[in-house]
Every structure is written in C-alpha cells, then in structure tokens.
Amino acid sequence: MHIDKHQITQHNEQLEVSHRRRFMRLADELPNAEQVIGRLVDFEVAIPSWALGTGGTRFGRFSGGGEPRNLEEKIADIGVLHALNRSSGAISLHIPWDIPEDYAAIRSLAQQNGLVFDAMNSNTFQDQPGQTLSYKFGSMQHVDKAVRKQAVEHNIEVIKHGIELGSKSLTVWLADGSSFPGQLNFRKAFQNTLESLQEVYEALPGDWKMFVEYKAFEPNFYSTTVGDWGQSLLYSNKLGDKAYTLVDLGHHLPNANIEQIVALLLMEGKLGGFHFNDSKYGDDDLTTGSVKPYQLFLIFNELVEGMDNRGMDHTNDLGWMIDASHNLKDPLEDLLQSVEAILIAYAQALLVDRVALVEAQAANDVVRAQELLQQAFRTDVRPLVAEARLRAGGALNPLQLFRELDVRGQLISERGTKTTATGL
Amino acid sequence: MHIDKHQITQHNEQLEVSHRRRFMRLADELPNAEQVIGRLVDFEVAIPSWALGTGGTRFGRFSGGGEPRNLEEKIADIGVLHALNRSSGAISLHIPWDIPEDYAAIRSLAQQNGLVFDAMNSNTFQDQPGQTLSYKFGSMQHVDKAVRKQAVEHNIEVIKHGIELGSKSLTVWLADGSSFPGQLNFRKAFQNTLESLQEVYEALPGDWKMFVEYKAFEPNFYSTTVGDWGQSLLYSNKLGDKAYTLVDLGHHLPNANIEQIVALLLMEGKLGGFHFNDSKYGDDDLTTGSVKPYQLFLIFNELVEGMDNRGMDHTNDLGWMIDASHNLKDPLEDLLQSVEAILIAYAQALLVDRVALVEAQAANDVVRAQELLQQAFRTDVRPLVAEARLRAGGALNPLQLFRELDVRGQLISERGTKTTATGL
Amino acid sequence: MHIDKHQITQHNEQLEVSHRRRFMRLADELPNAEQVIGRLVDFEVAIPSWALGTGGTRFGRFSGGGEPRNLEEKIADIGVLHALNRSSGAISLHIPWDIPEDYAAIRSLAQQNGLVFDAMNSNTFQDQPGQTLSYKFGSMQHVDKAVRKQAVEHNIEVIKHGIELGSKSLTVWLADGSSFPGQLNFRKAFQNTLESLQEVYEALPGDWKMFVEYKAFEPNFYSTTVGDWGQSLLYSNKLGDKAYTLVDLGHHLPNANIEQIVALLLMEGKLGGFHFNDSKYGDDDLTTGSVKPYQLFLIFNELVEGMDNRGMDHTNDLGWMIDASHNLKDPLEDLLQSVEAILIAYAQALLVDRVALVEAQAANDVVRAQELLQQAFRTDVRPLVAEARLRAGGALNPLQLFRELDVRGQLISERGTKTTATGL
Amino acid sequence: MHIDKHQITQHNEQLEVSHRRRFMRLADELPNAEQVIGRLVDFEVAIPSWALGTGGTRFGRFSGGGEPRNLEEKIADIGVLHALNRSSGAISLHIPWDIPEDYAAIRSLAQQNGLVFDAMNSNTFQDQPGQTLSYKFGSMQHVDKAVRKQAVEHNIEVIKHGIELGSKSLTVWLADGSSFPGQLNFRKAFQNTLESLQEVYEALPGDWKMFVEYKAFEPNFYSTTVGDWGQSLLYSNKLGDKAYTLVDLGHHLPNANIEQIVALLLMEGKLGGFHFNDSKYGDDDLTTGSVKPYQLFLIFNELVEGMDNRGMDHTNDLGWMIDASHNLKDPLEDLLQSVEAILIAYAQALLVDRVALVEAQAANDVVRAQELLQQAFRTDVRPLVAEARLRAGGALNPLQLFRELDVRGQLISERGTKTTATGL
C-alpha cells in the first residue's frame, strides 16, 4: 500500500476552491497567518511502531484487519500517514518488537517513506520468551542485582539498535513499582533504579538524550517507582545533562495541572519530550484531543511560551510522539485524528497575543487573560492547518482521502483480516 | 447605574463593519445560521442574586467595590447585564438574603429592567441570627423533628415569597450530610429528608416545580444526603410529577460523565434544571467554560438532542441558571463571560449534524461521530452569538462595552468601595 | 491435591495453646463473642472460577505455576481453600470458560469438596472463537438487534447451565459503553440494554435472582451503559422483583462513599450482592482489605445494620463473592488473605454497640459515634475468626498451613509450571 | 480552667484494674512493649493555636461555646489537652492572630502549662485590616514587587516573634496560585516566589528551619505555586540546608501515595514536618485517623523506617503538628481523638517486625510483607498508648475524663457561649 502524489493532487483539486475561500477569510483576520503556517509545516510528530495495530484492555481485544505483520509493514503504514499529512515523518521503535534484521534495508525503506527514526523504546515490563530472569517484581528496581543487570543490558542493546538506525534518544518507561503496601522499600527501589539508569546513561552516545518517563499507576496499583514528575526530575538531575523528563498526558493523578508541570520542567531545562493521547479516567490512551481539547491547547500554550523563552527550536528540541491505544477505531484513522488535533492546538497556541497576555498578567487582569487565551482557542484554525499540509505536499483532508482510497481495504487485501500487529 | 440604549447603539455602530464581515462569512458556511440565531435570541440564563458580590473561600475573601447592598441594587446589576447581552433576563432569589419588603415595588423594578423571577432558593445550610434551632447537624435530615419542621416551614415561606413575585419553581439545595463515619444512619437521614421534602411538596402550587439539587461533598466531608443524581432521582420519583433533579456542574466526583447523567435524566422526564459553572478540582465555582469548554459543549449536545426527542421547549422547559463564585474577577464581568460561554456551547450544539450523527452511530463509525461533534465544536460561532445579541438589542461585545462605560467605576461611585453584597 | 483432615488437626494442635490463650483473653473482654462466632461459622464467600489463575494487565501477565487447567481442577483448588478456612464453600462459574461437559460429575465433584454453585456469570465483553457477531461495540446495548439477540441467548444459555448445577442467580456484568464522545446515543443504549435484560429476565426461573452489576469505567473510557448504582437501580426497578444491583468495590469513581450506596440499596430492597476486592486508583482488583481496611469495615457496618433492619439472613440473602486479579501473589494465598479480611471486617461490624450508636446518633454526638465504630474496628478480632474456623473444622492459620504443606509445590508437580488457567 | 493532677489520679484509679489487665495481656504477646512505651512517652504533637475554635466552610460556621478569646486562653486550652494526654506539649502560633503583647508573660504561661513553642506560621493568604497592599492575587508570587516585599517583611516579623518565644522554625504556607488559565505565568510566579523565600531564608537564625508547605488546590482552583512535593523540593533545594518540605495529609490530588512521598523526602534529607488531619475528598481537615487509619499507619511505617535509616530522633527531628478544622465536634475533643490516632499509628509502626519485613521484601514475598504490616496494624495497641500516658502522668482515657469533668461546660461558664476564637 502506497499513496501516490497523484492521488493527493487529485483530492486537493476537488477541495481546493472551498479550502481557498475558508483559508483566505481566516488569514485575513489574523496578524500572523504566514508565520503560523511556517511553523506548522516544520512540525513533526513521531508515530510509535506499536500504535499501528488494534489495542486492547485486560478484558480483551477486538482486532481489525490489515494490521502490519513486521517492521517493514509498520514503516509502510507510517509512510501512508506521512504521505497524507506530511507531519508524521518519524517512527519510534520498540525493542524487542521491532528488532531490525537488516539495518541498511530498514534505513533505506524509511528513507523512501520520508521517515527518520525517533526515540528508541526499551521494554522491561514484560517477560519475553526465553528470557532468563523475570520482571514480575520489577526490572531496574529489582531486589536482585542480576535482574537489574539484565534490564540494563537490554537498554544498552536498544541503544545499539538505535545507533544503527540514526536515532538520537532512548525513552525509558519503567512499570516498576508495587501493588501492595509493604512489598517494596521505596528508598531502596529508588536507589536501585537510579543505579541502573546510571549504567544505561553511561552507555549513551554523547549526542543522545535519555527520556525518563513517569506514570502514576498501572500496571502496578500501589506505588510506581518513577511515579510523578517530581520523581522523574530527581532521577534526571542525578543522572546528568543528557537526561530529561518525558511527559505522557495520561500518566497523572486525577485533576493534575499538566500545563504547570510542563512550564516548570521547561524552566528547569529538563523537559525532554511528550507522549500525546487523551483520557477521562486514567491512562485511557484515547485519541489526542478527543476528550479535553482545551487542556491540550493550554499545554501547547505553555510549550510555545516556555520554548520561546529558552530560545528552543519548536520542532527539534523536544521529542513529540503519539502514544495511544486504538481499541475501537482504525489505528491509522485514529492517528490521523490525533496528529490533526495536535496541529490544531499548536496553531492556536501560536495565535495567542503574547504581548497582550503579558500585559494582562502584569495587571492581574484575569478576565482579559482568559479572553486572550480563548480568542486563540475559539478561532477555527483548521484552514491554517490544511494550508500548511497543502504547501508541504499533503492532503487537504487526510481522513477523507484515506477513506476514499479505501486504504484499509487495500491493507486487508494485502495482509489478511486475522493479522495481529506485534506488540501490545 | 443604567445602560442606555443609545450607548449600546453607539458601541454597535463602531463594531458593526467587522462584525458584519465575520458574520456573513460564517453564515455563508452554515446550513442553518438563521435557525441557530433564532434559538439564541430566545435563550435566557437566570442570574442568582448572590453572584453579584465577591465570593470567597473559607480562607478569606477579597472584596471589590460597588457591590449591591440590597435587592434593589441586585436587580439593577442584573439589569445592566441584561441590557448588555439580552440573555440574562431572569433573577433567582435566595431567602432570607433577598426578602422583599414591598412586592409590588420589586416586581415593578424587575419589569423596568426586563427581568422575571426564576427559581426561588431556600437556605437551611446556615443559621440566621435569631433562628430558634440550629442546622449544624442538618435540616431536613435532622434527628430532631422540630428542626425538620423549622426547615420545612422556611421552605414554605420561600414559596410564598415566590408566589408574590411570579416565580414558578423552588430549588432545594441541602447541605445535609455527615463529616464522620457513624455520625448518621444513612437510611434514617434519607427517610427524614424525604418526609420533609414531601411536606414542602404539598405546599407547592399546582404550576410550580421543585428542583432537588444534589452534591457529592462540601460542606459535609463524609456523606451528603442528596449526594448524587441517583439519590436525587429517588427523591424526585417518590415525591411526584412536580419534582425534578437539578444538575450543578460542580457537584460531582472526579471524572464523572455529566453529559450521560443529563441524557438519562431527560430520558426519565426528570431533568429540571441546571446550575452552570466550571471546575477543575471540586465545586470550584469558576466561570462557566473557563476550564472545560468541550465538556460544556457535550452537555449541550445531550440537552439539545434529549429535549428535541421529548418535544421540549429549549428556553422554558428547563431552568437555566449560573451558580458560580466570583473570587478574583469582577462579578459582572465574570457573569458576562459565563453567559457568553453558555451561548457559544448552545450554538455549537445546534450546529451538530444530527442526521449524520445518527447514521454514524448506527454504523458504529466512531471516527466519524467524533468528526461530526468536533466539526460543530471547532466552528467559531462567536459571530452567530453576537448577531443574535445585536438583533435582540444587546451589545456586540458586552464585556468591551462594560469596560468602556466604566460600569464598575460608576457603581463604586454610587455605592462605595467597602460594600459587601448580602449572601455568601 | 487435597487437604487431609488429619493435616488440619495436626496444624491446629501446634497452634492451639497460644490461640486458646488469645481467644480466651479476647472473649473475656467482649459481650457477644459466642454470637459473633456463630455468625462467622455460618458465613460463606464464593470464589470465582477465574480467580484461581494468575491475572494480568494489558501490559502483560507473569504466570506462576500449577494453575488449574479445567473446571475439575478449579473445583479442586477451591476445595483446598474451603478445607483450610471453611468459609469458601461456593464457586461462581463463568461461561464460556467453565462449561461443564458432564453436569452430574461436576455436581458430584463439588459435593465431595463441600462446595455449592453460586451465581453464574455470563461473558459478552469478549469475542469467543467462532462467534458469529462481535461485541466490539457492545452487546446488550448494540445498535444491531442481531448482536443483542446473540447476547441475550448467551445469557439464557448460562442460566441453563446454572439450573443443571443448582445455581440460583445470574450476574450480568456488561462492558457496554463508549470510549469517545458521540459514539453512542446514551438513551438508545440504555433502552436497548433494558430491552435485552428484560428478555433474559423472562427466562429466569422463579426462584432465581438477576444481579445487574455496574462499573464506572474500563474497558470503555468515556461512558459505561450500566455505569453507577443509580443506573443499575433504574434497570433493576424496571426489570422487576427478581432483579437486584450488585456492588463491586472497585467499580466507582474516586472518593465515592460506597457504604452509603450500600445502605440506600438495602433501604430500597435492591441490594443483591457484592464483589470484594480492594483498590487505590481504579478497578485495581487487589486483595480485599489490603489497601482500605477501614472502608471495608464501614461497608460491613452498613450491611449488618441494614440487613438486620430488614430482617435479612446474613449468609443467604445477599450474594458474597471475591472478584480480584492475582497478578503478583499466588492466587490461592491471595484468596486466603481476602477471605480472612472479609471475616475480620464482618466480625468487627458485629461488635459495634448498636444501642449506643443509635443513642449517639440521636444526640448528634459525633465524637462518641466515631469512638463506637473505632472501638469495634480497633479490636483485634483475629482470635474470634480463628476460633470460628477451628469450630468449623478449618485451620487456625490457613495461610501458614498452606505454606507448610507446600500446596503450590504439589500443584506444580501435578500440573506443571506452564499452565495458564482458562479465563482472563 | 485547669486540670488538677488529683483529678487525673482519681480517674486513673477507677480505670486502673481493667487497664492493667488489658495492658498485661497485650505486653505479654509483644516482644518490645517497653521500647514502644518509651517512644510513646517521648512523642509530642504540636497543637496549632487556630484549631481551638470551631472551624467552618465557605458556606458557614456553627460556633460552639467557650472558645478561647485570646492567646492566653489558647495556651490554657492546650494546657488542658496536655494535662490529659501528656503528648500535646507544644503550641504552634499563627501571626497576626497570636501576636503576644508581653513575651515574658506568654513564655511564663506556656511554661506553667508545660508547653513549648513549635513552628511559627505566617499568613499572607488573607488581607488584614489596615494592610497596605492586597494579597488577592498572591503574595510571594505577586507581579508587583511591593506586594512581595510586604509578604517577605511579614515573614521576617513572624520570625522575630518566634525568636522571642523560643520557637525554632517557620512554616510558610502560601495560598499563591491562580484560578483561571492564563492568569499567571507559571515560571515567573515560581521565580518570584523563590526570590521572596530566599529573602526570608536569609533572615532565618542559624538554628532555625524553614518548612515549605505545598498544597494541590484551594483557595486557588487552577494552579498553586507550591503545588506538590516536587515543587516544594525544588524550592527547598534552591534555598539551602535549613529549608525543608512540609507534608500536610490533605494537600494532595486524589489517590496520591503519600507514604511514598514521605519515604523519598526522607531519602533526600528534606522532610521537615507534618500536618496531620484526614480527608475523603480534598483538604477536608477532618479528625486524624477518622477516615483512613491504615494510610496513617503506612505513613508512620515509612517515617519510622526512614528516620531510623538516617539515625534521626523520632521526637525532635521532624515537626509534628495537627492541622484540622473542627466544624462539627468540640475542638478539644477532636484534638484528643487526633492525638490518640497518631499515637496508635505510631505504636503500630513501632511493632512492625522490620527484620522479617526486609527478608520478605528481599524474597519478593508480597503475601508475607502484607501479613507483617497487617500483623502490626491489627494489633490493638490502645493499652500501650494508655500505659505510656499513665506513666507520663496523663489520664488513661482523656476523652472520658474531659467529659466527666465537663471541661466544655466550665469553659462556657468562664468565656460565654458567643465567643469566637480568633483565626479561621
């Protein structure tokens, strides 16, 4: 399955008149439409290799068809997404699910699809067939040094794969924690984990980053050893300059103010990256922007303000990735919706009148501050996002074209209905 | 303080060109702009008399100036709001804070301001000076029948005031509950409360409604005797046809799906009314739409669908009221923002393509269902809301005009800086 | 694997002196020790057939060894538990995981182990191999009548199996709901579900009960169609006298007051049964009493008070079942801990001085009410529970004996290390 | 009002026989009863001066009678508590509510009552009459340097009062934050706050500690500028060695694992003190141990383990204080219950078999670890606590004696029924 430039052009021609009208009307009302479009064109969100198949819960999984059966097909799927929206030009691999057999071939395939290799992900939250020691009671926190060593070595292995592919970062998400009071000594668990992370850190190439991801709960239900941003920051600070905190939107306690966390991590120079998704109850891993679009905007509002304050490059200085579970929707459609929601929130954040906002804050004019944020959020920026896509060579309406071309139908023809993507 | 029609006209003339342009562009894209505008013109949100002064928390209160000192000034304040936005033409009184001394004079004053009297509110959650028995341990749930009787009589008194003013409903919010395990027998508390409500219900005129408001917690911190929609519905069903459940957006446990509750109460014919506000943590009583605007839209989406399904009149068949606490913002500005947010959400809900949504649901096309809702939500409907206001004789930008006319400054001149509104 | 009476006797003889001392000292301080013991002897908690294997999360599963491979071995496992604690004399089956091939043989095997058949559980939250229609988008709520019919027929099939085994109740837990706004019409989902439940209800024998279980979220992450006690009660009331609400402790929003829900359901005559477990974050399905033992006591406090008020039989008039997931602990040890925690909470609730509590409540003596509850809770009732077990023929310390006899080791010898129990 | 030693002796004589029996039986079962008693005798919990009057919510306050009218009477009240339980020998003052007019007289009065002066508390969350600048929009975070300066100077003033009285620590709780998105620049608010705290820190005597208290929400409802332990730790680390984090049990998001936070802060050498209370929903400020006694035990379990690991003195190296709001109970009775609950949890934590627990953790024996913790928690340690009190010269049952002596009645005679304690 491959999307042809011709197909995109044809689609765009059909929609162009109405798009042009809406875009011109919007641009006419905005002071900085071209600047926003430029930023949108540059923006990329990485797609994780495990998000291309149907997800599930502990209660079950309802597979769709045409899921990718190997790394090559995963790359092809992301190639389809990127061809459609021109904003998904990076893939994030998960080891051991995506171990390449032939690096050069994989690199070449990625290049053909316009993709680069984003952060590598290790897995010490599951036992693999043939694995010597079990992670049932944790990996880097484990009371047994041999288990910790196994986890460290796995991470170093992951780095090696990444080096071959041109990745520049390692994301470490640890499920380590406990489900019952008394199970762990919290201090020892922290110190074991720190020591293990340090060993991985030492194996990190000089131009790499390590992202320490935190999560409040699940799969452990009493404590998690990297449980919140405060803990992640402690680890990152103790590890060194190449270590950063990674924020996954679904990994917080109820009602947490994530945008404030983002602002403070940026202040400390320790925000490394993002996992986008949405949720109502826990780590629900729903389509980004499907439940709390205003929160997503508020987060981007802090990102833009905070990155600009530090003179950071919006596109390259943070790792942007979707991390969701596609239980009910077609995974590719879900990803198209997520990328669109991210671009919309980013565009809205770029529209905030920062000079006026600083003035309102300086005057404690809370009413005006709210008006300024909502002025940006209420603006229907979809024509800007579409225009950016058009200029970058993508489709004006990726989802519509995905359906018109019956991409899923073709994938099912190619791969069958009973395939299950490797991974979760 | 009074807003002159002339002032509004002058304001509108200044903004009219840009408004007209934006409105025409939007209307051009919509299939049903005129219908939506008609609905918006008809819509009214009642303002509670206690929302006109600065609110506070148990930690303190930071008063502003120019707060209304009596019922007459409260009516005047709402008159200002209504003159500006033409959607605040109702006042909801709270007894004993707003006992009229001269019914005819108050009715006449309200009429001059274009206001009607919405739901009456009783207060059995505080002890008033000179009150015989205390509500420290509850009112309608109280173990002592004499306290229950006092609470019942107070409610009957409130009804009498309401009859004189032309109100048609009574809202009963009970703080009754317990703060410690063991304090209450839950069953007896329920039964006492039911019995008390029945006595009030019997005193209700034939064309009145009783709204039974629920709240999960605060000011009691272990249990509340009308604690959730299930309990309120139990009471309402046992009381009879004139009893309904009232939903206050801030009165739920974390993560509750309020829009589903709304849909089910409508299905049962037992949804009576709404208290609008917004919140992040508990009953934070923030400006409506300031934290979770998408949730507000989803609620309106259910309201529109559910009311239409039952053939209900959008404007009159449910009681709409703001119930917020203005701790930091100028109360009148806060109310203008809230009404605007409500109208925006209502307009968005009216834009949902219901035929297509039913089709998508019938096909389990989750992706499309989301697109349809977000198509409505992403649309910038502010020009529609402004146009409706313009046609109804209000200001294109009420907040801007409020500031240009320095309404607050004038109120301070009239009333002084140290006034405190009666009430909370 | 089978526990011999001789082994229990030997174990008890070793512990008897110290037990006798502790028991006598405790009984000496209590007014009603013998009455409590009598109640404890009578009490039974059903064990679900799916709780005998290692559980997991969507992130993985770390199996132990010696798990039961079929219904016969599940019965044997519960036989072991029951031999040890004499309080686990019932098994709750799950169809299709436990379809008996030979009813008579299974009945006979259960009888040999001293077990009866508790509530039958249907499964319409997963697709089974060969199943005609998918439950991906719900079962009893489904927009397609054919799917609803399939779900109804499955439930009727489950009833038939139950009749053969002597069960008297059906537990219906529906995962039905939605993960995205717009996916469902809440009202239609409710009505479809009600209609489906009615068809099952009609197939219910006259002496059976139907338990309608509710759950706030998971596996759906936006709405659940039987989402809280209010919804379950609506269904139960519309279904009829044989329909009841079932409360699972983990199925609530954060901070819910479950004991109040229990009290109100008992008041309405609609509490049907319980699923015991414990949790900190969501439906964590941890060992009962491992995280919030005081909450468990408070719930039993309401159960005892409410059942006594209605003249209900503590043992038989409600369905008691454990429903937990044993991800880290040996499932049988976990179940022994859970049953012990339940008996402790029940014993404590039986110790509450009800006359004094009623007096304290009547006097609004909140301090005293708390003292009375905590007097019961602080009492170390473990010797009472042990004594009850001793008199019933069980082991003084079931967990200790389980380990001394190396039950797990024997099960592994018999069944191997790589077995996986059928089910979740 | 003053409790006579004679009255205590008489009370103890009446209860001594039954106490002695229960104590002997318990001590007989424990390996370390005397050691625990020694620890309990040494333990002191400070009482805040503002906890002696009736508390309230924003909805109202239901005063009792006999509340202290000035600092002298507050000291007398705590003197009564300390005479009864011998564990409340410290008072924590709040400025400006408790500004002493005559230091020597106050010191002398405290000494007569056996009290020392614990942490001083500043107040920049309210405006005081005559205050130049308002804290409506924050204090140490304020955009206006003059407001920050005023807040800093107030804190320095508080330190000066404390020096005169012999206090050795300052608790800074800031309500600073925001209620609406956009109101604050989070980074600037943090940096302003840090700069202000640094100025206060510089004024701190060499042997003082500064406690930086955090709180998730309320009275601000969108963000708090010292919002969680991670933020507090950031401030403390940037401030220096004399700065510590203070944990208030009610200041967390739902479901937070407070015991883990405690363990990590101890690990970092940055845990400074505790505010005890209990809660179900938010900062409910209920009686300690009234809702979640097991959580309280788990926290003490970490405290004991962590302090012992660092060689800390249990009594003096952390600041222990109750911080609750007594809305329904007699404040003195409430405090007696709270201190009792704290001592019970502490005693239980001291009973944990640490050697066995370390072994169980090393073996990942989760079942046994739970048994070990619950063995300590299930033990009815009340006789140990009573024995410690007896040896220290207090009453066997402080609450009972409080009522027998009709302390409240006497206080009402002395002070009247309509007094309101200064403070909240």
Residue ranges in D59-215 assigned as alpha helix (H): 71-85, 103-112, 145-165, 186-202
Residue D420 forms part of a structural domain: no
What sign does the CA torsion over B404, B407, B408, B414 have? positive
Q: What is the pLDDT of residues A211-227, one digit of tens each?
A: 999 999 999 999 999 99
ipTM of model: 0.97
How does residue A422 score in pLDDT terms, banded at 50, 70 and 90? Answer: low
Q: What is the DSSP string of A160-228?
A: HHHHHHT--EEEEE---EESSTTS--HHHHHHHHHHHHHHHHHTS-TT-EEEEE--SSSS-SSEETT-S
Q: Which residues pair with D57 in a beta bridge?
A: D60
Q: State the DSSP H helix or E strand holding residue C123, giving kind and residue range, or none if neither.
A: none
The pLDDT of residue A306 is above 70: yes
Q: Is C229 exposed, middle or buried (0-12, 13-18, 19+ CB in 10 A)?
A: buried
Find the CB nearest C264 among B231, B305, B306. Answer: B231
Instruction: Note if the bond before B31 is cis, omega within 30 degrees.
Output: no
- The set of chains that have 3 or more CB pairs under 8 A with C is A, B, D
Instruction: Note the pLDDT of residue B419.
Output: 66
Q: Which phi and psi angles does D340 have, rounded to 5°?
A: -60, -45
CB A355 within 8 A of CB A46: no
* Average pLDDT of the residues of chain B: 96
User: Alpha-carbon distance D330 to D81, whole Å?
Assistant: 13
pLDDT of residue B418: 77
Predicted confidence (pLDDT) per residue in C404-413, tens digit:
999 999 999 9
**Got the DSSP string for A37-87?**
HHHHHH---BEEGGGGS--EETTEE---S----SHHHHHHHHHHHHHHHS-
Which residues, including other chains, have CB under 8 Å from residue C316's CB and lie 6 or more apart? Answer: none
Interface of C with A (CB under 8 A): 55-60, 62, 125-127, 134-137, 175, 179-181, 183, 216-219, 221-222, 254, 279-282, 284, 286-287, 290-291, 325, 327-329, 424
Note whether D285 and D220 are within 8 A (CB). Answer: no
Q: How many domains does chain A have?
A: 1
Check whether C419 has a pLDDT greater than 80: no
Identify whether the C-beta of residue D54 lies closer than 8 Å to the C-beta of residue D83. Answer: no
Q: Per the omega criterion (within 30 degrees of 0), is the bond before A96 cis?
A: yes
Please determine, for residue C424, whether its predicted confidence score (pLDDT) is greater than 70: no
Nearest-10 crossing angle of helices C33-42, C382-392: 60
CB–CB contact D182 A253 (8 Å):
no
CA angle at C36 for the pair C30 and C37, rounded to the nearest 5°? 110
CB C273 within 8 A of CB C247: yes
| Residue C383: count of CB within 10 angstroms of its CB | 22
- Using an 8 Å Cβ cutoff, are C95 and C19 in contact? no
Complete DSSP assignment for A347-402: HHHHHS-HHHHHHHHHTT-HHHHHHHHHHHHHS--HHHHHHHHHHHT--SSHHHHH
Mean pLDDT over A289-301 rounds to: 98
Q: And the tokens for D320?
A: 């222990």
Determine the structural domain holding residue A56 and report its residue range.
5-415
Pairing of strands B169-173, D319-322: unpaired
The pLDDT of residue B417 is 85
State yes or no: pLDDT of A238 exceeds 90: yes
With 0.95 as the threshold, say if the pTM is over it. yes
Is D421 part of a structural domain of the chain? no
**Rounded Cα gap, residues A318 and D88, in angstroms:** 52
**Helix, strand, coil percentages, rounded to 5, for chain B:** 50, 10, 40
- Structural contact between residues B319 and B211, judged by C-beta atoms closer than 8 angstroms: yes
Query: Helix, strand, coil % (nearest 5) of chain D?
Result: 50, 10, 40
Question: Does residue A180 surpass a pLDDT of 90?
Answer: yes
Q: What is the pLDDT of residue D413?
A: 95
Inspect the interface and report whether the beta carbons of C190 and B267 lie closer than 8 Å.
yes
With b meaning 16 or more CB within 10 Å and e meaning fewer, what string describes C243-265? Answer: bbbbbbbbbbbbbbbbbbbbbbb
Reading the block at residue B112, the tokens are 């001059």
CB A257 within 8 A of CB A216: no
Cβ contact (<8 Å) for C234 and B268? yes
Q: How far is B12 from A140, CA to CA, in rounded Å?
A: 66
Chain B residues within 8 A of C280 when measuring between CB atoms: none
In-domain check, residue A69? yes
Q: Pairing relation of β-strands B243-248 and B319-322? A: unpaired
How far apart (Å, rounded) are the C-alpha atoms in residues B254 and A254?
7
| H or E stretch covering D246 | strand D243-248
Residue A297, token pair as written in the block = 């905007």
Instruction: From A420, A413, A350, select the one nearest A385 (Cα to Cα).
Output: A350
Residues B396-418 as b/e (b if ≥16 CB within 10 A, e otherwise) read bbbbbbbbebebbeebbeebeee
Q: Which residues of chain D have pLDDT under 70?
A: 419-424
> Looking at residue D50, what DSSP letter applies?
G
Q: Rounded to an integer, what distance in angstroms lies between the CA atom of residue B6 and that of residue C214?
A: 59
Q: What is the pLDDT of residue B422?
A: 56
**A419 pLDDT more than 90:** no
A151-162 pLDDT, tens digit each: 999 999 999 999
What is the pLDDT at residue A82? 98
- The answer to whether residue A423 scores a pLDDT higher than 60 is no
**Residue range C76-97: mean pLDDT, rounded:** 97
Nearest to A336 by CA among A395, A291, A399: A399
For tokens 């206060």, the residue is D200
Contacts for D10-18: CB closer than 8 Å, 24+ residues apart: D11/D395, D11/D396, D11/D397, D11/D400, D11/D401, D11/D404, D12/D390, D12/D395, D12/D396, D15/D396, D15/D397, D16/D396
pLDDT tens per residue, range C12-40: 999 999 999 999 999 999 999 999 999 99
pLDDT in tens, B342-351: 999 999 999 9
Query: What residue type is D386 in one-letter code?
Result: A
> Which pair of tokens denotes residue D240?
């220096």
Tell me which of D265 and C63 has the higher pLDDT.
D265
What string of DSSP letters covers D255-311?
Answer: T--HHHHHHHHHHTT-EEEEEE-B-SSSS--BPTTSS-HHHHHHHHHHHHHHHHHTT
Of D25, D281, D289, the CB nearest to C255: D281
Q: How far apart are CA B279 and CA A407, in angstroms?
A: 42
Q: Is the pLDDT of residue B1 over 90?
A: no
How high is the pLDDT of residue C421? 59
CB atoms near residue A278 (< 10 Å):
23
CB-based contact B222 D58, cutoff 8 Å: no
Binding-site residues on chain D for chain C (CB distance < 8 A)? 22, 25, 29, 254-255, 257, 280-281, 287, 289-294, 328-330, 333-334, 337, 344, 366-367, 370-371, 374, 377-380, 382, 399
Q: What is the mean pLDDT of residues B186-209?
A: 98
Min Cα separation B57/chain D (Å): 5
- pLDDT tens track for A31-72: 999 999 999 999 999 999 999 999 999 999 998 899 999 999
- Neighbour-count burial of B132, counting CB atoms closer than 10 A to its CB (0-12 exposed, 13-18 middle, 19+ buried): exposed
B377 in any annotated domain: yes
Are β-strands C243-248 and C209-213 bridged in parallel, bridged antiparallel, or unpaired?
parallel
In the numeric block, the tokens 């840009």 are attached to B18
Nearest CA in chain C to A254: C254
Amino acid identity at A150: Q
In a domain, A383, yes or no: yes
DSSP β-bridge partners for residue C59: none
Specify if A56 maps to a domain. yes
Asked, as a colleague might, if the bond just before C205 is cis with ω within 30 of 0, I would say no
Over residues B67-114, the pLDDT tens digits come to 999 999 999 999 999 999 999 999 999 999 999 999 999 999 999 999
User: Between B and C, how many residue pairs show a Cβ–Cβ distance under 8 A?
Assistant: 144
Q: Does residue B42 fall inside a structural domain?
A: yes
Interface of B with D (CB under 8 A): 55-60, 62, 125-127, 134-137, 175, 179-181, 183, 216-219, 221-222, 254, 279-282, 284, 286-287, 290-291, 325, 327-329, 424
Q: Return the biggest CA–CA distance within chain A.
A: 66
> DSSP assignment, residue D53?
S
Task: Report if residue A75 sits inside a domain.
Answer: yes
- Could you tell me if C51 and C323 are in contact, meaning their C-beta atoms sit under 8 angstroms apart? yes
pLDDT of residue C185: 98
Pairing of strands C60-61, C90-92: unpaired
Averaged over C230-254, what is the pLDDT? 98
Provide the pLDDT for residue A417: 85
Domain with residue A344: its CATH number is 3.20.20.150
pLDDT over threshold 80, residue B7 = yes
